[in-house]
Structure formats: C-alpha cells, structure tokens
Amino acid sequence: MNKPFSQACENNKAPILSVISDYFCSGTILEIGSGTGQHAVHFAKHLKQVFWQTSDQLHYHDGMKLWLAEYQGDNLGQPIALDVNQPWQITRADGVFSANTAHIMSWSTVQNMFKGVSDILGSSGFFCLYGPININGAFTSASNEAFDLSLRSRDPDMGIRNLEDLQTLAESHALEFINLHPMPANNVIMVWQNI
C-alpha cells in the first residue's frame, strides 16, 4: 500500500499549528478524522507536551499507520475507530481538534460530533474546528461558493456550515464560543471551550 498524501494537509499544517499551540498545552488531544495522518505527525512533533490521539473510520487506518510508523516520539497514539454517529471508544480528552470534517458530514452528523465532543471534553478544554465557514449565511469567497456547490452536487447533505448555526449548536452542549481565527485559503479555525 502506498502512503496516502494530502497536499492540503501539507499546505495548512503550519498555519494550523500556529493557532492550536495556544490552546493545546497538556493532556490528551483527540483528533476527529485524522485522515492520512499527516496533521497528527506534524502536530505531535511540535506539541511534545500533549499526547495526540488519532481517530477515524476504519478504512482510513491502514494508510494513516504508514505515516505514524515514521514518527519517533511517544506522544502519538495509534488510531482508534471513531464514527461520530456510533458510541465513541474514547471517554475523556483534554482537547479536541478536527479539520475539514463539518462540511463533508450531514447536519445530523455534525450535531452528533458536537454532542460527543461535549461528552468527552474535560473541564475548560478546547475544541478547535478547522475548515471553511459561512458568516451570516453568506459565503466568504467565490471559491467557497463553488466548493459548496461541488459538495452538494456529490451529496445534498454536505455543504459549508453557517457559523451562527454552529454557535447555537455548541451552546446547546455547554460549549462557549471563544474565538475565530482567519486562515489561508478562505478557511478559519473556530474555538469553543467546555464551560
């Protein structure tokens, strides 16, 4: 099996790290949807003070493990099977990170992700969610509008989410909106904290 590769991960790993390093300072950080594993390896290498726990649906694990096998440290966990619509195999995390997941999930799946994050996130822990977002129901760029159209043509349940909807959802699970960090390529990192 060839090691999977995402150019997007290579492009955005450094900008993401520059933001999440302010929020993930200790303990276990769960990554929801680790995909290729590129983010996990990069973040574990630079965030030695945390244990980075990878997760994804089973069919991504073999490729991800090829990346993890190259990492020499002891703060990176082998992937756990995680489908946010099913019972979670992890019961506690000090922080949660996810990249480019909310727009490829159905809205009900996004709701289940936020509920699951709320259930496992420790007191005052942060949830950092990276990806494109609409603000006040409007696209932030023409490229995001085109991307949304492409997503919905593949699956009507997919699509770029509205910030206000995510804020309301988070509040319903006692997650307080902390910050929105603009990122390259018309993406953002949204940060919530367990209150």
CA separation for the pair 80, 78 (Å, rounded)? 7
Write the CATH number for 95: 3.40.50.150
Does the structure show a pLDDT above 90 at 114? yes
Residue 120 lies in a domain: yes
Per-residue pLDDT reduced to its tens digit, 40-56: 999 999 999 999 999 99
Three-state secondary structure string covering 41-66: HHHHHHCCCEEEEEEECHHHHHHHHH
Q: How far is the first Cα of the chain from the last one, in angstroms, to the nearest whole number?
A: 44
Q: What is the pLDDT of residue 135?
A: 97
Q: What is the mean pLDDT of the chain?
A: 97
3-state secondary structure of 118: helix
What does the pLDDT average to over 167-174? Answer: 98
Convert the pLDDT of each residue in 52-106 to its tens digit: 999 999 999 999 999 999 999 999 999 999 999 999 999 999 999 999 999 999 9
Taking CA atoms, 26 is separated from 9, 36, 125, 143, 195, in Å, by 23, 24, 10, 36, 18
66's CB contacts (< 8 A; 6+ apart) are 1, 3, 4, 37
Is residue 39 included in any domain, yes or no?
yes
What integer pLDDT is reported at residue 127 of this predicted model? 98
Question: Would residue 164 count as lying in a domain?
Answer: yes
Tell me what percent of the chain is helix, strand and coil, each rounded to the nearest 5: 40, 30, 30
* Residue 131, pLDDT above cutoff 90: yes
Q: Would residue 1 count as lying in a domain? A: no
Percent of the chain beyond pLDDT 70? 100
Residues 193, 173: Cα–Cα separation, whole Å: 11
On whether residue 140 sits in a domain, the answer given is yes
Q: What angle do CA 121, 49, 130 make, to 5 degrees?
A: 50
Tell me whether residue 55 is exposed, middle or buried, using C-beta atoms within 10 angstroms of its C-beta: 0 to 12, 13 to 18, 19 or more: buried
Predicted local confidence at residue 64, as pLDDT: 98
Q: Tell me whether residue 45 is in a domain.
A: yes
pTM, to two decimals:
0.98
What is the number of domains present in the chain? Answer: 1
Domain encompassing residue 95: 7-194
Residue 2 belongs to some domain of the structure: no
Per-residue confidence (pLDDT) for residue 1, from 0 to 100 = 84
Q: What is the mean pLDDT of residues 18-38?
A: 98
| 24/195: higher pLDDT | 24
